[in-house]
């Protein structure tokens, strides 16, 4: 059965309930296996070194990192020095279905939000390949996701993202500002201790 898409804005496609409960549980275990090799860590803001409230990790040939020297992609974990684990087949299949024709992803950023974590409005613009979309999957507690425009001061709207939902930013929305206002604790039983996992698949270099 083809996933049901809802157009939020030109280039922004929302797939509510894209993963059923069984698929969410399977992906949860897959993510746990990845994090056993590449543990979550606190990335830091450029210049100030202030830790982000969201803990992060990656899988794929490249991983997104942030520290005092800036934002970038690199092939290894900044704390362990080990290469990132490969992107699991489950996630590659999601990309193939939701981004047909796009070159394969090279990075999957894994973000964990506890009840107090936030993510301010930002653009995903550290990739050299901007013609491929960003594909996002959510697991665990709901999040209030904020979607803006191509400038920071553009009007915004809020969307409640549930466990199992998918979201795509591509085409005219590839550089759209977006962020996470807050997590809604207790909204899902998928993660035993609560919180939200967000997975964003990205193509980094030109195909």
- Write out pLDDT tens, residues 120-159: 999 999 999 999 999 999 999 999 999 999 999 999 999 9
Rounded to two decimals, the pTM is 0.96
User: Which pLDDT tens digit goes with each residue over 69-114?
Assistant: 999 999 999 999 999 999 999 999 999 999 999 999 999 999 999 9
Nearest alpha carbon to residue 24 among 143, 196, 183:
196
Contact 32, 184 (CB under 8 A): no
Residue 198 has pLDDT above 70, yes or no: yes
- Structural domains in the chain, sorted by start: 6-202 (2.60.120.590)
Give the per-residue pLDDT at 2: 66
Task: Name the region of 17 (left: φ>0; alpha: ψ -120 to 50; beta: rest).
Answer: left
Contact 46, 67 (CB under 8 A): yes
- Tell me how many degrees the CA angle 49-78-192 measures, rounded to the nearest 5: 90
């Amino acid at each position: 059965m083809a996933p049901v898409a809802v157009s939020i804005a030109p280039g922004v496609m929302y797939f509510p309930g894209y993963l059923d409960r069984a698929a969410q549980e399977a992906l949860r275990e897959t993510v746990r296996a990845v994090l056993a090799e590449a543990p979550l860590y606190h990335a830091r803001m450029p210049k100030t070194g202030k830790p982000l409230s969201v803990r992060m990790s990656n899988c794929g040939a490249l991983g997104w990192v942030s520290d005092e020297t800036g934002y970038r992609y690199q092939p290894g974990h900044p704390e362990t020095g080990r290469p990132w684990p490969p992107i699991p087949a489950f996630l590659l299949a999601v990309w193939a279905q939701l981004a047909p024709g796009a070159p394969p992803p090279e990075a999957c950023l894994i973000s964990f939000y506890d009840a107090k974590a936030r993510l301010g409005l930002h653009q995903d613009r550290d990739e050299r390949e901007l013609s491929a979309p960003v594909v996002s999957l959510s697991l665990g507690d709901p999040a209030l996701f904020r979607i803006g425009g191509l400038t920071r001061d553009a009007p915004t709207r809020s969307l409640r993202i549930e466990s199992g939902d998918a979201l795509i930013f591509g085409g005219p929305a590839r550089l759209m500002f977006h962020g996470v206002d807050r997590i809604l604790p207790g909204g899902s039983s998928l993660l035993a201790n609560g919180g939200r996992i967000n997975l964003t698949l990205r193509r980094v270099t030109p195909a």
